[in-house]
Structure 1
């Protein structure tokens, strides 16, 4: 049904029409005064006998807006229908204009002004995300600039009509792309079931791109249709903002391009992280805006420096771990090959004692060998010495070493060595002869406290008395 509204017309016995604010194919917005409250309001009508989906969208917008308490969302005061069934929504009246109108009138905005507008929008979007609502239609036309009580600029986010609700029973048609094409993320075209808060991060970046340059990210001469635009969003890189506006900081360009990354995981994970990254480019109020956004989402406040550091880490190549090890041995069975880097298992106290004891044993053995070599070098009288005799003596008070049980003298005869083998005399096995009468008792003899090399005595005769070692074992 076609409706015409004239100034002074009375609606529902409580609203008096003052003027038409705007009209489109599906609806109209008028300014009217509430007679009982003497307050100016805006009334939005859905006209033309829309489908059930249009009605669902209309009611969805009202329900989403009424749940949000942010000062950056236009308040919904009432939802009802006229006598003929035309749905309407009563909202707070806003004085000002949307950012799309400002762009047409002024051209690209100053950096701090554009950034502040996006930061304020982030607060409203953060509250929506906190209760499971994704806007899906952020663009300059849906950001309305008005003034607060103190005259400071205040952005209001409009039109939650196609918002995605995470726990809604009234589902929109997920197979149909929804939104405004120049600001839509790739997943809104190709994978609508993957729409999530990062979809709004893309749209906020695309909107800021437009506010700063006067162009949308994929605007080109050859992109002259929805199909061409969709192809560009899905397959082509966005334009670099500094090519359109050279005075933009490089760091701000990096923020915009990260918002417009086709990979959702590569974008800012939340509007709070985006707000923190934008703080250095806003006004003196930018930090306050970012803190509010973080508190709304329950996230820890992130400094701009930390966000910049994470941006460097994200774009820098990941260093490869290089482990310097000796070449691994080759095995016939591939399963026996080891890896160069493994996770160390916990070492028990018992396991730690084993290497210590082994080390002590090795140290004692090396010391014995070294002492033997020293003894061997000390007994060599001259290079021409062909043979030598080692005599083992016990310390005083005994005059002559003997078996404790029998008193028989104990001497050890070494095998002949040549001058070229003098250094290894300690390694030459000794021949020990023990008298039969004392063999069983000689095992009780204790080792001597010191070993004194005897002076060379020449070649031993074949009639030498029997010799035995310290432990009485016959060789």
Structure 2
């Protein structure tokens, strides 16, 4: 049995001195006594020592500020702690920093001396910041404040996990559809800025950022113009923005295989006739309309054969549901909005297409699982009101019509969520999944688009899980009719597949849903899925063989133990994951305060039934998070507890040769199947009119519990000024992610 630690945990300076060998003998002797009984400090010390001995060339290690060559004036040093480089430019050196006052990470841009010492530059920069803060757009990096002290000038902004457009242009795997979406978002950001009277003035690939989910974030509004003091009018700056954006858009579309002809023509026209588009407002509107028309025409062609079976407005289904319109459609289903005659109740009706009904087994499974789902009486599962077949033999499922926003749409709009909010949503989903598992129903397609948030998003929003029991069977059988696409544009649902789903749809059981819950939590906390690739074969190989990037590399402030739980859900072997949803909820509960206890109590009240193909006996529930195992140096700001990634990546290297071959064999079937089902699966049951009556809930105000292990927070040093500019790393690359 290990001895009790001697005294409080070691501080940052003590640990760094021990790691680099500069500690005095008496200090080392005292520290050794403490280390004998404190595993946490031993792990931190081992991580720091490993970093000293194994510096990496491809990434800037997370080290104290003095090792970065960074010195802030005393007042600023008490507020901000630079943690790692995130690139630079001729105007500034950029760092990821911790804001001590708010205990969060920010982007810190240290204006270089030549620019920072100009007369009046601080006043101009503050004016630019005020204008930039008035821009209302999710595609603009929000500046926070500007500091000027003792010749040091800092620009502080929100931190975005992204890469710049230059890196995106080097990535040839992106498809034209996604490239066109990037152009549309870029123009939308500039349009919002021009409406607010805040032109950019220095638009470059380095300050157009794109995250791993394809969301655009434009940074540095007004910054360059304020530093350079150029005597340009707003009209001249607006025109420069518009011309530059059109040029960047054309370059991106050309590199990525072209976009809609109408979009390309509009961008070319903006360059040839600047007077036709004097601002980005008109250009953004024209491009967006052209892109929508192109997409509508493409969708019309792709589903032309399905039109004849989709009910028209006014049609009657099952003798009592009058169709009011189409909510969504895909290759394998259409969802209609309708009103029940006599009661006036608004419902959503999901219909199978006639070609899918040729398989008797598929129809029977659809009806059987629909009826099973209708028996689930849970506030967190969309209510199935009726299951049957029309007079023409078309199977249908009638569901309550919901009004809200899907978690997928919420993540696209907001990016990574606060820990408390993300856990609030996932724990409610755990309740729904546990109740359905107890009835022998496995969802098989849990994803953010299938979680509907009712009410005000936040820690009081009510989650409803959609599409329970809607079978995905026979999709591999249907895959033979379709061709494989190599672009990233169709990689929606596949990013949430488990390894066993990639290998065979017959290997699916309840632990596949646990994998999916882990993927959802990963995405909610980091803003991106754990597995992304340029094409479907590569994605399948990654899911089967690769280990996900540890969440704390994307969001370093996450508790290490919470990261360990997420990674356990994403174990390749189902037996290594939490055995049940109850076990997962109990592991997550300590991080969610009251919301965790409520969810666990509900799940414990569910009468647990056996779930198909789980033969191993359940292990005893673990009520505390599992700490990470082997030691690895974290790239986040606090190497407090290292994770399992080092070991995982060693295993991944050996596993990938086998997994890639296996994934390549099944990827043709997977890609084809998802071309049929991806639109269907993304159909949302959100209504166009009245909301469904949702059960009232007590608001669950919860906060994530802090990781209690010691944190090694870098400190500012006594040197002056930002370090000289380094070539080879562009600015705007906060967490060194790669698109």
Instruction: Please classify the TM superposition score into its range, dividing by the shorter chain length.
Output: 0.5 to 0.7
Q: What's the counterpart of residue 19 of structure 1?
A: 325
Larger RCO of the pair (alpha carbons < 8 Å, separation 6+): 2
Q: What is the aligned length?
A: 301
Question: Alpha-carbon deviation of 1:20?
Answer: 2.3
Within 2, Cα distance between the matches of 1:260 and 1:29? 32
Within 2, Cα distance between the matches of 1:45 and 1:233? 31
Spell out, residue by residue over 1:339-397, the C-alpha distance to the aligned partner (whole angstroms, 9 max, x if none): xxxxxxxxxxxxxxxxxxxxxxxxxxxxxxxxxxxxxxxxxxxxxxxxxxxxxxxxxxx
Aligned mate of 2:389, from 81, 95, 106: 81
Question: Alpha-carbon deviation of 1:193?
Answer: 4.9
Within 2, Cα distance between the matches of 1:10 and 1:189? 39
Q: Does 1:115 align with 2:432?
A: no
Question: Alpha-carbon deviation of 1:152?
Answer: 4.5
Aligned mate of 1:256, from 566, 570, 585: 566
Alpha-carbon spacing, 1:163–1:127, altered in 2? closer, same or farther (3 Å): farther
Q: What's the counterpart of residue 137 of structure 1?
A: 445
Alpha-carbon spacing, 1:76–1:195, altered in 2? closer, same or farther (3 Å): same
Q: What's the counterpart of residue 185 of structure 1?
A: 498
Superposed counterparts of 1:73-472, under 5 Å: 73-147=381-455, 152-161=460-469, 172=473, 180-190=493-503, 192-219=505-532, 223-282=533-592, 284-296=594-606, 298=608, 306-308=623-625, 311-312=626-627, 315=629
Within 2, Cα distance between the matches of 1:173 and 1:18? 31
TM-score, reference length from structure 2: 0.37
Q: What's the counterpart of residue 417 of structure 1?
A: none
Spell out, residue by residue over 1:410-440, the C-alpha distance to the aligned partner (whole angstroms, 9 max, x if none): xxxxxxxxxxxxxxxxxxxxxxxxxxxxxxx
Greater Cα shift, 191-200 or 4-13: 4-13
Within 1, Cα distance between the matches of 2:403 and 2:327? 11
Alpha-carbon spacing, 1:202–1:37, altered in 2? closer, same or farther (3 Å): same
Q: What's the counterpart of residue 49 of structure 1?
A: 355
Within 2, Cα distance between the matches of 1:281 and 1:121? 16
Q: What's the counterpart of residue 215 of structure 2?
A: none
TM-score, reference length from structure 1: 0.57
Within 1, Cα distance between the matches of 2:383 and 2:594? 27
1:237 is paired with a residue whose SS is coil
Within 2, Cα distance between the matches of 1:9 and 1:194? 40
Q: Does 1:33 align with 2:339?
A: yes
Alpha-carbon spacing, 1:141–1:54, altered in 2? closer, same or farther (3 Å): farther
Alpha-carbon spacing, 1:240–1:89, altered in 2? closer, same or farther (3 Å): same
Within 2, Cα distance between the matches of 1:156 and 1:24? 22
Conserved? CA contact 1:26–1:48, under 8 Å: no
Conserved? CA contact 2:526–2:554, under 8 Å: yes
Question: Alpha-carbon deviation of 1:257?
Answer: 0.6
Question: Alpha-carbon deviation of 1:5?
Answer: 4.5
Question: Alpha-carbon deviation of 1:281?
Answer: 2.6
Question: Alpha-carbon deviation of 1:105?
Answer: 2.4
Alpha-carbon spacing, 1:79–1:195, altered in 2? closer, same or farther (3 Å): closer
CA RMSD, Structure 1 to Structure 2 (Å): 3.3
Spell out, residue by residue over 1:49-99, the C-alpha distance to the aligned partner (whole angstroms, 9 max, x if none): 323154345324412311322221111111223332222221111111221
Conserved? CA contact 2:353–2:394, under 8 Å: yes
Alpha-carbon spacing, 1:161–1:102, altered in 2? closer, same or farther (3 Å): same
Within 2, Cα distance between the matches of 1:176 and 1:11? 29
Alpha-carbon spacing, 1:5–1:283, altered in 2? closer, same or farther (3 Å): farther
Within 2, Cα distance between the matches of 1:193 and 1:61? 16
Question: Alpha-carbon deviation of 1:296?
Answer: 1.4
Question: Alpha-carbon deviation of 1:11?
Answer: 4.1
Conserved? CA contact 2:441–2:469, under 8 Å: no
Conserved? CA contact 1:99–1:144, under 8 Å: yes
Q: What's the counterpart of residue 676 of structure 2?
A: none
Within 2, Cα distance between the matches of 1:176 and 1:83? 27
Alpha-carbon spacing, 1:158–1:61, altered in 2? closer, same or farther (3 Å): farther
Greater Cα shift, 94-103 or 268-277: 94-103
Which structure 2 segments of 5+ residues have no match?
1-305, 480-491, 610-617, 632-739
Alpha-carbon spacing, 1:215–1:8, altered in 2? closer, same or farther (3 Å): same
Within 2, Cα distance between the matches of 1:209 and 1:294? 24
Which structure 1 segments of 5+ residues have no match?
165-171, 318-475
Alpha-carbon spacing, 1:264–1:77, altered in 2? closer, same or farther (3 Å): same
Within 1, Cα distance between the matches of 2:551 and 2:413? 21
Q: What's the counterpart of residue 384 of structure 1?
A: none
Within 2, Cα distance between the matches of 1:32 and 1:60? 23
Question: Alpha-carbon deviation of 1:288?
Answer: 0.6
